[in-house]
Amino acid sequence: MKKKQRQMIGMLLALVVLAAAFLGIRQYNKNASSATSITEDTQETVLDVNSDDITSFRYVYEGETYAFEKEDETWYYARKYMEGRECETRSRDDVLAAVEELAKLHLVLQKVEDENLKIGGQDYAMEVFRHNRELKKVRNYIHGKHKKNEFEMIFMRNYEIFLKQALDVEHRLMKPNPGETQGQSGKQSREAAMYGICHGDFNQHNVLFTHGKIIITNFEQAHYDVLVGDLAHFLRKLMEKHNFNIGLATDMLAAYEKRRKLLPEEWEQLYVRMAYPQKFWKVANHYFNANKAWVSGRDIEKLNRVIEQEEIRQQFLRMLFYFVE
């Protein structure tokens, strides 16, 4: 009997503890809900902006102003310790002076003879092969989706056109180098003339005009390659900004050749770099490596811009490289 009483008392105590715990938890949830409600009622949006729409910003730290600008998904930091102004892409004089300075730089870097510098040199043919593989990967991903957004539908409608261009460049680069058919000595002489240390990221942000001089900065991406790779990089960026202005392009090439004459093989290298649909690949690659569940209006605008410029880009290539077979 006493044993049963002890069991009953134990069960009652357990029920009391559980009831107290239940009431405590319910009151805690009620208070938490009330606090959340107050927070939601008083919450205000201070700044609502899409990060993709931000193209520049600056801030002040200990009296120094630090400025950053974004172009083609790359952020550039304007170093304050070097006086001067950047090359203005809307100024024809600035652009031509920058190109002439690049040719002068290449004349110097062309003479650099150090086998260690060739280690890690970039192979443009391998770069094109990798980009083409990435384009196919993007296409396969979108093709497998049942419901496609606006960006994806535009991409699929134009994919075959740009892929053909990309594959044409890849096949062209696989052709034997003219220097290889002339024996080892011929090959070496051509490499000595065509190859050297490239800047690697020659653009308006890395060209400063200061005290009547032009300074080329930021050699972090310097590598051993065909020298006209720098020229093609800058020319392509300027043509995208100037809607493939054939007059400006002709003047840029003339400014370069004032200092350094291009070999026929270099014209070929320049052509394949300009013919490759770099911008189409870049927009597609950015889409694939970003949040594919939500595509910004800016990405759609960029893709449409590439497509809109395609007809005039092809006219530009035919006019500028009419003599390249």
SS3 assignment, position 196: strand
| Per-residue pLDDT at 273 exceeds 50 | yes
Parse the chain into domains and list their residue ranges: 50-81, 84-320
| Per-residue pLDDT at 87 exceeds 90 | yes
**Residues 154/284, Cβ–Cβ less than 8 Å:** no
| Per-residue pLDDT at 267 exceeds 90 | yes
Q: Tell me which of 59-63, 99-103, 115-119, 316-320 is least confident.
A: 59-63
Q: Tell me which of 12-16, 229-233, 293-297, 306-310 is least confident.
A: 12-16
Q: Decide: residue 199, CB within 10 A, 0-12 exposed, 13-18 middle, 19+ buried.
A: buried
pLDDT for res 279: 97
More confident residue, 32 or 150: 150
CA angle 72, 171, 188 (to 5 degrees): 90
Instruction: Please tell me the pTM assigned to this model.
Output: 0.72
pLDDT bin (cut points 50, 70, 90) of residue 47 is very low
More confident residue, 190 or 101: 101
SS3 assignment, position 273: helix
CATH architecture of 84-320: Alpha-Beta Complex (3.90)
More confident residue, 84 or 157: 157
pLDDT for res 83: 73
Range 277-302 burial, b when 16+ CB lie within 10 A, else e? bbbbbebbbebeeeeeeebbeebbeb
pLDDT for res 112: 76
Angle between helix axes 228-241 and 92-109 (nearest 10 degrees) is 170
Q: Give me the mean pLDDT over the 131-148 stretch.
A: 96
CA–CA gap between residue 150 and residue 71 (Å, rounded) = 24
Nearest to 236 by CA among 289, 191, 175, 280: 280
What is the arrangement of strands in the sheet containing 74-78, beginning at the earlier edge strand? 56-61, 64-71, 74-78
Phi then psi for residue 79, to 5 deg, are -70, 135
pLDDT bin (cut points 50, 70, 90) of residue 277 is very high
Could you count the other beta carbons within 10 Å of the beta carbon of residue 164?
11
Q: Tell me which of 15-24, 77-86, 209-218 is least confident.
A: 15-24
SS3 assignment, position 207: strand
CA atoms within 13 A of residue 83's CA, in its CB half-sphere: 4
pLDDT for res 247: 97
Contacts of 78 (CB under 8 A, 6+ apart): 66, 67, 68, 69, 86, 205
